[in-house]
Structure formats: structure tokens, C-alpha cells
Amino acid sequence: MEEGENGGIVAYIYTENLNITSVTKQDSDEYFQYLYSDSDIMKTMRDGLVKNQEWTENKIADWVKRWENNIPFSGMKITSNTTDEFIGHISAGFSSTPNSSELSYMVKKDKQNQGYGYEAAGAIVFEYCPLLKYKHYKPNEKDTAFSHIVAIARTTNIPSNNIITKLGFDRKYEFVELDATRYYYSQEVPIFDCTTKLCSNQSSLSSIDEIHETIFSDTQQPCLQIEDDYKFINIDNSIIGDNYDFYC
């Protein structure tokens, strides 16, 4: 994450095929055209209803306000990292469950069943949320910690249930809301550990202890350079360099 132009924070996540970034007000047209006006997509969501342009703009504005207020539990746009084409939406948002953030995502129709939902959700679950926990962000003001990620899916939404299960969530119970039966999932926020990304490439660092010391230093930006296939990037008031694939 880095400081936004108008204050607040901006998140960047780069995966093998995707760029995942904080939503902006300029994204509302794509969100409406490809997601919120599509009845096939919206029937899998909470109330199952399509939304109009005004509703979409208000929703985007709420997410933007969170980023501007340094709240990282907000909406992010998913795009292709080769064509910049809009692919969908994902968020680690607020939850009614204490100390928890709710995972939600949508992929536009012509990009579904291509692995993008799983790739984006995996980046949020295994990289973004652990980083937020490490930096002591809490989903709600009354929360004492950030301990769990939750997810809710209609029982009839087989693709989403498969993705959530594949990500390691435990199905806790079944419930009915707005005349639809749903599954409630939960898992603990994974531990944030940059060393899991190193594999055999430990850059110029000579030991795991030195790696940890460098990763968790508050004075070194970027803290680690890895020139391999991993593309997750977090930025803390630093500039992306052409040769840097990894920031802590």
C-alpha cells in the first residue's frame, strides 16, 4: 500500500495474470456495465437483484471513501496485467462477525471459469489479509484484532463454493437469508511470512534470520528484491522499480 494522491492509502497486488488495485470513482462505468447490470452475475449475490447506475456510483463512492480514510477493508478492481482489460471486483470488506473480514468477489461473464476468481481470491487470503493483520489493521473500530476471514455463498453457486473450499475455508453452517439458502465459511488469517516466497532464490541474503530482519525492517524500502515469477507487491510510500517484483 502507498499513500494516495489526496491522502489515504492505495493498494496494489500483482499476481501471475492480474493487477488488483483500489477502486476509483472512474471505475463506476465498468462496474455497472460488466457486473451490477448483469442479471446472471447478480443472481448469485446477496439480494439477487441488478443495480442501476446511481446505486453503482454510490457503492464505488463508499469504497473510495474508505481508502481515503485509511481503511484497507475496501473494494478493489481486477484487471489483466497484459491487456489492462477489466475482469472483475474483489474485496476483503467489513463483516458482522467480530474480528473478521468478509471475502467477496465478482468476475465478469466472459472471464469466468478461467481461474481468475481463484487467483484473485488467493492473493487476498494468503497475501493481503495476512499483511493487514501484521500491520495491526482491524476490520471494525470495535474489533480487538483481525483474526478471521469469512465468506458466504449461496448453496446453488457451485463455482464460488468450490473456490472457497479450495482456498482452505471451513464450512461452518448453513442458513437462509432473503429466501436463499447459503453456506457460511471461515478460516483464520494466515501468518504473514515473506520467506515463503523465497524458494531457492534468497537474493543476496545469507540466512533466514537475515531475511526476517530485512523483511520486517521499518527503515528499508524496498525491503527485499526478488527477480523470479512471484508478482505480489505491497508498497509503503515507495516507488516501483522496473526490476523489483516484491515489496514488503
Distance CA 177, CA 120 (A): 26
Taking domain 2-192, whether its CATH number is 3.40.50.12780 is answered by no
Name the pTM for this structure. 0.79
Burial class (CB in 10 A: 0-12, 13-18, 19+), 246: buried
Cell of 93: 470488506
Domain extents for the chain? 2-192
Tell whether the model's pLDDT for residue 240 goes beyond 90: no
Tell whether the model's pLDDT for residue 96 goes beyond 70: yes
Tell whether the model's pLDDT for residue 86 goes beyond 90: yes
Min mean pLDDT across 28-42, 157-171, 229-243 is at: 229-243
pLDDT score of 192: 84
Tell whether the model's pLDDT for residue 210 goes beyond 60: no
pLDDT score of 168: 96
Q: What is the pLDDT of residues 104-122, one digit of tens each?
A: 999 999 999 999 999 999 9
pLDDT score of 30: 98
Q: Are 234 and 12 in contact (CB under 8 A)?
A: yes
Pairing of strands 18-22, 12-14: antiparallel
